[in-house]
Structure 1
């Protein structure tokens, strides 16, 4: 066996095996001039290589740091330390270690692929491509993988896939290539491709923290929060202090309603990377959810500029501004967020509220109108639109929105209509008709304009061209729904849900199946989603209503109480649901209490008035119930349930 002082690094780059690496360390150490403690340095690097090979990357970095402390001038030890920094996503620290490695005698020709990786982690895609092109032939695989990721970062996904897809076909056993391919496909919206790549990565190396994390990310999108958690936990069992995995895990726990476990994960992430911007952000989210805006603001400020422009941070910051009585400040971030995410209805609501409080009612109406014009707009959205019109003197227009807000009837869930004109969208879609990024807004605009036939034809084309993209399947379902073909819409939505079962997909799928008469399948889809996303407010609302309709009173009470825990005591629909559920359960006191609370907030909402009146009747007070039920019937004369309640009480 022939060794040189740097050859063991090939164990980290896919060249030599671990045993060869350890043997070469011994030879290299014996040939060098003794420094502070070369024996300790050799031991530390051998341990670092072993831990790295086992997927314990944080421990590997600790061992490498100990080796560097024992012999700071040993270039090879610095190179090993750099590789552990790269595995843990710290490009800046890796670059500094590589500079020290070269100063200590490490061959710079063997570091190009490492420098490329470091540049990529720092956001320098052109620099990464340039360095990757200099990689030595024996490290070409590593270099090509970084080049592909950098090309994707620049937006050239086609070129990136052209590098990686043939690579994994030739050598399917290289897990790192599968991980890179999965990340690129996921970023491009090809969830089927990403899911397949993640599964292949796990088959190639079921112990790699990277493969396990990618599988967790795809499981979360494909199935939901609960399904993803075991995969995150498997990745953390391999490397308990992997910062990025801990952040993903904490966010998933938080979305699942497990705030205590979320806080533990965030604290571990902050231990792994003190001053972590993501860690501060998640701590601020926890404080805000706990009703402590002052602490949330303080913690968010510690994140500094690192969260500027992050959608979640913009939304949180604006919410805190509103809570602190600074609506003008809130509008700054919210305008940016709505410009970037025009379909974010929550952001539109907050922006409209902030503008109303800033005496900019016309702007408030302009921002809330796309959400308020939707058939399924909630009462709060409609009320915001009405208040904006009242402020600018359009009382007739405001009355229309207030009537809709008071109505118990809501339309079906649909796609969000784009703001751009149909002509502009058509011009953008014409050069690349199969590209979902430009085709989907055009198809939605066609459907909104009432051209169902043309929308359906275009949707079929884009879905056929992008079978792995959930967005393409969703827009096909939307086109079928607009053409009043709910069974076919449900089939398309189910295809989308197979790879991305998020809230929007679930609502469309459940609605389409119910309209197609597939009530059992609709209920199954709703139950599956709620099992994976137990804190989903829309899913819980729908579940509670369905439980009441089915006569499952005890479950309905539990569901609406869970909703009250999540949204508080001022949500009219939840309070009315609790009044109806407790009344059905024969518990008059809580039924009338919740009914009265709902009525105090929305005395013109027929569902609320009916719920309060019915609760009073079931509590043995028909005299107080009758006027309320008559009022409810006058507000919604076509509602059969309200009419039935009135008929029973009036006798």
Structure 2
């Protein structure tokens, strides 16, 4: 039988007889070593072959690709065309292909750098500019590009200096970069002057108009920002920066829903434009479209891996779903790059508070209040954290401007009361608990103040452009009895800042204090034309309602909710009016939706649900809600009345009359409470007492159920 030569890939299939060998130990050891050596040799040969393959593959991969100038020109032309159409992400891919096809072409590197700048990546842009210069690109043509790259990297001073070196043919671009650098340094007037100079010579520069819009937006001139963004889009419909800015402005001017088409328009041009994706995702979340929000954040992460803004928005989603551990993990992934955002400070502080890390929460909430002194939610949260940490005095100092407002909410007033308890001032604690229990509040107003007028005047004169100080000064004038002077100052503020909604709000607030509700509504309408947010809506509705224009007020609320369907304050007000109008089923739907989001610890919400269910003839469900509301706030006249009314409607008059009498004793000036008590007295045959209560209700000009009350009075012979 033939025997094949031994190799690493051949195996004998049949045994072959070997020649006899002497049986010696030495020869046996040699034979065994020879077998091992043969096996090691086979193994090393295989390793050598594999290593050779790896080396050949590495050489094939790392050796310079064949330069293809023709392909590079085609790819660069595609990139420039897409860039002009606003598809920056696709332009980047083609510019990268051009660089790959001809890595020695400096212009291709420079164009890729310009694309990276449009995408907001200053580090990548600077890297490409360095490669462009290394292969011969004229550095004098790149000063404005370097300036832009350094600005994006957070060095406006260096950017400003570099922009000044740009050649005359790039002067407009350099001036735009310089203006943005000035704005980054806080010189907003200087930035606007520089952009105005560019537009004076080149009025058709869409990019300059969008830059001006952004600077005006930052400075608070929202009307001017709207005008600039509108002009930018009219000049170049593919200006996706302007489209994104217009979406942000529309979101404030008209509402969330109206803003979505603008972001979608930008994303139709570039589906991976990161700024538009972030704004789109945030707006979708506020509208309540959480699934679409998540998809948009994932797309943003695909466009910009590691995007801190996308991780922050995902953390917001997780927190809304109650998954606080996931929210913390996602916030950690932002690597601290969103800490300057007010929303991130609010979320971070809330997560720290929820975890019991009160000192961390205090630090973040304090930063937020420092940046937004008028942010009532931030002040409440900071005060709660201070109170938990044992700093009752600090909590009082933080809440004072809010608690002095006529429309201070019950939670704020309760916090103040608890803080006074901690400091041992129980008389003051009782006063604020009484206010917290009151069933209705005054309309929106500016912050109250307990500083003297000279102090407020000095503060306003020291920084006349500070709106917070000027508003405090106006309030000080009103509190000191100088309402006329306050109105003059408010009108001056509006004249100086016609595009700033806060100035028109100041006029409206002053007119409300003076009791000129119709004029106040007009001032609020001017503010709403520029920025229609929750505080503006609440002020406008309050003014119109006080002016006796409830249908107009209801229309304002309806328009606001059509654009901001998840707004809690708007939904609360809508439900209250639905109950007043007897629209029980609609009120139940609104309130149950709120309860799912807010939870079961809001006494006022539960009391409103009780009224709605009782009105819809579901007294047993109404009684459950009324009892729960009363258990949470037994000294609140609204919850007490709701419980008594539910008992009355279920035929339990004995318990009902006790609760309704208690409610009236707490708030004797509230017409609805007296009307309810009057009806129970009438059913119990206590005619004189019933007539007295009903007449007291009718004595309030704002009382709505006048026809029904008059009819009951007639049956009582009064």
* TM-score normalised to structure 2 length: 0.83
- Tell me the alpha carbon deviations over residues 568-623 of structure 1, each in whole angstroms, 9 at most, x when there is no partner: 22111111111111111112232122112212211111101111221233234434
Given that 2:446 and 2:471 are in contact with CA atoms closer than 8 Å, whether structure 1 keeps it comes out as no
Aligned to 2:208: 177
The DSSP-based 3-state class of the residue aligned with 1:304 is: coil
Is 1:405–2:436 an aligned residue pair? Answer: yes
Alignment of 1:526-605 (within 5 A): 526-605=557-636
Question: Which of residues 265, 269, 274 is equivalent to 1:234?
Answer: 265
Name whichever of 630-639 and 238-247 sits farther off.
630-639
Q: Residue 272 in 1 paired to residue 303 in 2?
A: yes
Structure 1 equivalent of residue 319 of structure 2: 288
Partner residue, 2:217: 186
1:331 pairs, out of 356, 362, 367, with 362
Q: Is the 8 A contact 1:113 1:143 kept in 2?
A: yes
- SS state at 1:307 partner: coil
CA contact (8 A) 1:372 1:385 kept: yes
Verify the 8 A CA contact 1:208 1:238 in the aligned structure 2: no
Question: What is the aligned partner in structure 2 of residue 23 from structure 1?
Answer: none
- Map of 2:422 onto structure 1: 391
Q: Which residue of 1 aligns with 2:524?
A: 493
Matched, 1:197 2:232: no
* Cross-structure match for 2:19: none
Between the aligned partners of 1:595 and 1:107, the Cα distance in structure 2 is 78
CA distance in 2, matches of 1:128, 1:337: 29
Q: Which residue of structure 2 lines up, in the alignment, with residue 27 of structure 1?
A: none
Deviations 1:226-262 (A, max 9, x none): 1101101111111111111111111111111211111
Instruction: Tell me how far 1:178 sits from its aligned partner.
Output: 0.9
Hey, what does 2:390 align to over in structure 1? 359
Show the counterpart of 1:80: 111
Q: For residues 175 and 444 of structure 1, what CA distance do their matches in structure 2 show?
A: 42
Give CA deviations for 1:115-141 in whole Å, capped at 9, x if unaligned.
122122222222222122111111111
Deviation by residue 1:299-352 (Cα, 9 ceiling, x = unmatched): 111112212343222221221122112223321222222222222111121122
**Cα contact 1:133–1:143 (8 A) shared by 2:** yes
Question: In the alignment, does 2:320 pair up with 1:299?
Answer: no
Match of 2:711 in 1: none
Residue 255 of structure 1: aligned partner = 286
Distance 1:427 1:390 in 2: 34
Note the C-alpha offset of 1:625. 2.7
How many angstroms does 1:37 deviate by? 4.0
Q: Indicate if the aligned counterparts of 1:434 and 1:461 stay in contact, CA closer than 8 A.
A: no
3-state DSSP of counterpart to 2:336: helix
- Cα deviation code 1:513-558 (max 9, x no counterpart): 1112222221111111111111111111111111111222222122
Whether contact under 8 Å (1:172, 1:204) holds in the other structure is: no
1:212 to partner: Cα distance: 1.0
Q: Are the structure 2 counterparts of residues 498 and 343 from structure 1 closer, same or farther at C-alpha, using a change threshold of 3 Å? A: same
- Structure 2: distance between partners of 1:95 and 1:420: 52
Counterpart CA distance in 2 for 1:617 and 1:438 is: 51
SS for the counterpart of 2:313 is helix
Report the CA distance shift for 1:336/1:161 in structure 2 as closer, same or farther (over 3 A): closer
Alpha-carbon distance between aligned partners in 2 of 1:373 and 1:622, rounded to the nearest angstrom = 39
Note if contact 1:444-1:475 (Cα within 8 Å) is conserved in structure 2.
no
In the aligned structure 2, how far is the partner of 1:420 from the partner of 1:272? 51
Does residue 131 in structure 1 map to residue 169 in structure 2? no
Q: How does 1:56-135 map to 2 (within 5 A)?
A: 56-135=87-166
**CA offset digits 1:471-515 (Å, max 9, x no partner):** 111111122222222222111111111101111111111111111
Give the secondary-structure state (helix, strand or coil) at the position aligned to 2:626: helix
Q: Deviations over 1:338-380 (max 9, x none)?
A: 2222221111211221122212222222222221221111111
1:614 equivalent among 645, 653, 656: 645
**Alpha-carbon distance between aligned partners in 1 of 2:583 and 2:381, rounded to the nearest angstrom:** 36
**Count of equivalent residues:** 619
Aligned partner of 2:689 in structure 1 is none
Cα–Cα, structure 1 residues 330 and 161, in superposed 2: closer, same or farther, change >3 Å?
closer
2:22 aligned partner: none
1:45 aligned to which of 56, 65, 76? 76
In 2, the alpha carbon distance for the partners of 1:34 and 1:401 equals 78
Aligned match of 2:378: 347
Paired residue for 1:163, among 182, 194, 209?
Answer: 194
Farther-moved stretch of structure 1 (166-175 vs 339-348): 166-175
Give 1:470's match in structure 2, choosing from 494, 498, 501. Answer: 501
The CA distance in 1 between the partners of 2:544 and 2:91, in whole Å, is 52
TM-superposed CA distance for 1:219, in Å, is: 0.6
| Higher RCO structure, 1 or 2 (CA under 8 Å, sep 6+) | 1
SS of match in other structure, 2:86: coil
1:566 is displaced (CA, Å) by: 2.5
Instruction: Judge conservation of contact 2:373–2:468 (CA < 8 Å) in 1.
Output: no
2:387, 2:465 → 1: CA distance? 41
Query: Which consecutive residues of structure 1, in runs of 5 or more, have no partner in the other structure?
Result: 1-32
| Pair 1:144 & 2:175 matched | yes
Contact kept, 8 Å, 1:433 with 1:462, in 2: the verdict is no
1:592 is paired with a residue whose SS is: helix
Q: Report how far residue 171 of structure 1 moved.
A: 3.5
Describe the shift of the 1:422–1:310 C-alpha distance in structure 2 as closer, same or farther (beyond 3 A).
Answer: farther
- Does the 8 A contact of 1:88 with 1:243 survive in 2? yes
Does the aligned pair in 2 maintain the 1:434–1:466 contact within 8 Å?
no
Instruction: State how 1:417-496 maps to structure 2 within 5 Å.
Output: 417=448, 422-430=453-461, 436=467, 439-496=470-527
Alignment RMSD, CA only? 2.0
Give TM-score, length-normalised by structure 1. Answer: 0.91
Per-residue displacement from partner, 1:30-57 (whole Å, max 9, x unpaired)?
A: xxx9954444433322221121121111
CA distance in 2, matches of 1:360, 1:423: 30
Unpaired segments ≥5 residues, structure 2: 1-63, 684-718
Cα displacement (A) at 1:425: 4.1
Deviation digits for residues 393-444 of structure 1 (CA, Å, limit 9, x no counterpart) = 1111100000011111211101124687643442354478677575444323
Contact 2:404 2:447 in 1 (8 A): no
Q: Is the 8 Å Cα contact of residues 587 and 619 (structure 1) preserved in structure 2?
A: no
Question: In 2, distance between residues paired with 1:417 and 1:373?
Answer: 5
Give the structure 2 partner of residue 5 of structure 1: none
1:169 Cα offset (Å): 4.6
Change in CA separation of 1:173 and 1:283 when aligned onto 2, cut-off 3 Å: same
Larger of the two Rg values belongs to structure: 2
Distance 1:463 1:597 in 2: 47
